[in-house]
Amino acid sequence: MNYIDGQWVPSSSGATFTRRNPADHGDVVGVFPDSNSADISAAISALAKAAPQWAATPPERRGAILESAAEYLEERADELIAELVREEGKTRAEAAMEVSRTPMNLRFYAGEALRTLGSTYPSPGEGLVFTLRQPIGIVGAITPWNFPLNIPSRKLGPALAAGNVVVFKPSEVTPLMGQRMVEALLAGGLPAGAIALVQGSGRAGAAIAADERVDAVTFTGSTEVGRAIHASVGPTRRSQLEMGGKNPVVVLEDADVDKAAALIVKGAFGLTGQACTGTSRVIAVDTVHDWLLDRVVELAGEITVGSGGDAGVGMGPLATSQQRDKFLDYVRIGREEGAELICGGEPLGAGDGFFVQPTVFAGGSPDMRIVTEEVFGPLVVFQRAASFDEAVALANDSEFGLSAAIVTNDVAKALAFASRSETGLVKVNQSTTGQSMNAPFGGHKSSSTQTHKEQAGETMMQFYQSEKTVYLSPSG
């Protein structure tokens, strides 16, 4: 159901869509409303009425609500893990990690409600010059399916902590997880009018971005959709966009090859390769390239693919039939472009699940689409480099700039790579995936608008607040 003006309601048109288990397409997860522009308009109208009351709510009360919502999620962890596996296709271990991290995020942002800061400045006279930060108003939060609890918590948490009301549109691939997030916030004591949930396709997200009453839009998803949202929001309203990646791991001659291979396999095939920070390119210097390639292929062959809820499964299905078809199309493209398919590249199983094999290509070059375009699946391509400088150049030869990693014991080269890498995240002897919740998150180039970092830090809260400068004189 949608949640509008304090009520659980269907779409005004009566239209619905069905979400099915990606490991067993005959298993129906649920039927949800397919919202239209009238639903979006009604949700925003209701939020506009409720906004002043929530903005006036003391920050300690806002924080306490987020704390209570975190407790609600923790109490239902087992149920949420099972639902997340069934709806999105994660393995149980991956789902458990996301379900445990989401309450931690909410608690972090509960503290941010009390850390709203202003500044004071020298006054030219006897008065005082200072700034106030206040809620920006109505925030549109449009979130993806690959982390359907974690990413919404990173947007709804700070938006509500800052005193904004929120219209929330989760992905149509994971509508149940979006509903569960709103249920947790309401159970935690969030006033009914402070949030609206609108389910549906991309047209619902487009309607949110187009509505001039929405003061800011925060979006995570594809670069194509992000650019359309940015154009719709325009220059007078705020947008925060985190988009695609084509993330490299550079492996130098002094690296521990076994460790490097384990990091690559984790980044490339964990979460079925469906992470914006997932490893999609390996750039190895000549002296370790072949050894590393063999070890990655060996580890990939040890991964058990199957339903995420089954014991021993290391990689679940792709989330949708469209993702599976896209993945298989890129395998075809890679072979046609002349890359060497070393392992994988085939669908798995005769049933209704969207299973594919972990896939490794070698012989990648910068003109190949499997090297330049985001596949968003368990596919990694190897490239050779003759030197450190060539490896850095290859790593930076991308329209994207989200995450990059280097594996080396040479501290000087690690620091040089961190300085020269054209990405928002740089990892040394770590996977391209994974971040600390108290550190800023965001990309460069086509991976982000680079306006305000997500996740943590003072700039994160600034996105959700307006700032005014006040000049105060002691007398009239």
| 412-467 pLDDT, tens digit each | 999 999 999 999 999 999 999 998 888 888 899 999 987 777 877 667 889 999 99
Give the CA radius of gyration of the chain: 23
Choosing among 2.60.450.10, 3.40.50.720, 1.10.357.10, 3.40.605.10, the CATH entry for 2-243+448-472 is 3.40.605.10
Q: Residues 326-331: contacts with CB within 8 Å, 24+ apart?
A: 326/375, 326/376, 326/377, 327/356, 327/375, 327/376, 327/377, 327/378, 327/379, 328/356, 330/369, 330/370, 330/373, 330/375, 330/377, 330/379, 331/359, 331/379
Domain 247-428 has CATH 3.40.50.720: no
Compute φ and ψ for 292, nearest 5 degrees: -65, -45
Q: Please, where in the chain does CATH 3.40.309.10 lie?
A: 247-428
Question: Residue 302: how many CB atoms within 10 A of its CB?
Answer: 9
Catalytic option among 112, 242, 374, 454: 242
What is the predicted pLDDT for the residue at 351?
66
* Of 349, 352, 295, 311, residue with least CA distance to 21: 352
For the segment 395-417, the average pLDDT, to the nearest whole number, is 98
The share of the chain scoring above pLDDT 70, in percent, equals 99
Give the C-alpha separation, 381 to 248, whole Å: 9
What is the predicted pLDDT for the residue at 116?
79
Residue 74 bears catalytic tag: no
Residue with the bigger pLDDT between 449 and 360: it is: 360
Strand ranges inside 279-351, DSSP E: 279-285, 340-343, 347-348
Q: Please, where in the chain does CATH 3.40.605.10 lie?
A: 2-243+448-472
* Of 307, 278, 390, 262, residue with least CA distance to 26: 307
For the segment 285-302, the average pLDDT, to the nearest whole number, is 98
Are 208 and 40 in contact by the 8 Å Cβ rule? The answer is yes
Lowest pLDDT segment from 5-14, 166-175, 185-194, 434-443 = 434-443
Give the C-alpha separation, 140 to 158, whole Å: 13
What is the predicted pLDDT for the residue at 452?
75
For the segment 341-355, the average pLDDT, to the nearest whole number, is 89
* pLDDT band at residue 476 under the 50/70/90 scheme: low
Residue 276 bears catalytic tag: yes
Q: pTM of the entire structure?
A: 0.95
What is the predicted pLDDT for the residue at 159?
97
* pLDDT band at residue 124 under the 50/70/90 scheme: confident
Average pLDDT, whole number, for the chain? Answer: 95
Catalytic option among 87, 94, 98, 276: 276
What is the predicted pLDDT for the residue at 475?
78
